[in-house]
Amino acid sequence: MSRLIPPFLVPGVWAAAALLLAGIWAGTRLDGATETGPTPGESYPGVFGPDAKQGYVLRQESWNGALSVGENIPIRQQLFKNNDYRFYAWTDVKGAKVSVHVYDQDGNLIDGHTGEKSHGDSHFAEVDVKPESTGSYYLIVKVEQSSAKSTAWQMAYAYK
């Protein structure tokens, strides 16, 4: 007669569960970006406030990381047909510039209006998109220029 072993007694299950929970708790994403820190609206109300007056709702979700000049990171994001999205990428490194672009699943650039803003020493890049279909899209954040070896960046988005 064989007995079933409860899952919590199987070796390695606790270690795997602990790693999974630690990753979720830390906000770690599989793409290398993280979701931590103060919300963008709290940090830069002067930058995001005018967009709110245009009807955009700033999501509390944000991503951050550090990249070298010329390096980029893809972040996969579910977007919905006919919603207007505005993505913001920024850095607080003086004199540095970042960019953000949006690609569909086939690798086609779907950027609409793009622009830049400054707020103190911070540089902001923004891009507007209105997807023609619901699906996964790829946001590419890139450090375009910086005197630092590694440049910290953040990204957030709003929709309407």
CATH number for the domain harbouring residue 136: 2.60.120.380
Opening angle at CA 38, ends 116 and 101, nearest 5: 30
For residue 19, tell me if it sits in a domain. no
For residue 48, tell me if it sits in a domain. yes
Q: Is the pLDDT of residue 63 over 70?
A: yes
Q: Is the pLDDT of residue 81 over 60?
A: yes
For residue 23, tell me if it sits in a domain. no
For residue 14, tell me if it sits in a domain. no
Other C-beta atoms within 10 Å of 108: how many?
A: 8
Residue 71: predicted pLDDT: 92
Could you read off the pLDDT of 48-57 as tens digits, one per residue?
777 788 888 8
What whole-number distance in Å separates Cα of residue 154 and Cα of residue 92? 9
Other C-beta atoms within 10 Å of 160: how many?
A: 12
> How would DSSP label each residue in 64-101?
EEEE-TT-EEEEEEEE-TT--EEEEEEE-STT-EEEEE
Contacts of 35 (CB under 8 A, 6+ apart): 27, 29, 61, 62, 63, 64
Q: Is the pLDDT of residue 93 over 50?
A: yes
Could you read off the pLDDT of 66-75 as tens digits, one per residue?
999 999 999 9
For residue 147, tell me if it sits in a domain. yes
For residue 24, tell me if it sits in a domain. no
Range of the domain at 86: 30-159
For residue 138, tell me if it sits in a domain. yes
3-state class (DSSP) for residue 45: helix
**Number of structural domains, the chain?**
1
For residue 11, tell me if it sits in a domain. no
Q: Is the pLDDT of residue 23 over 50?
A: no
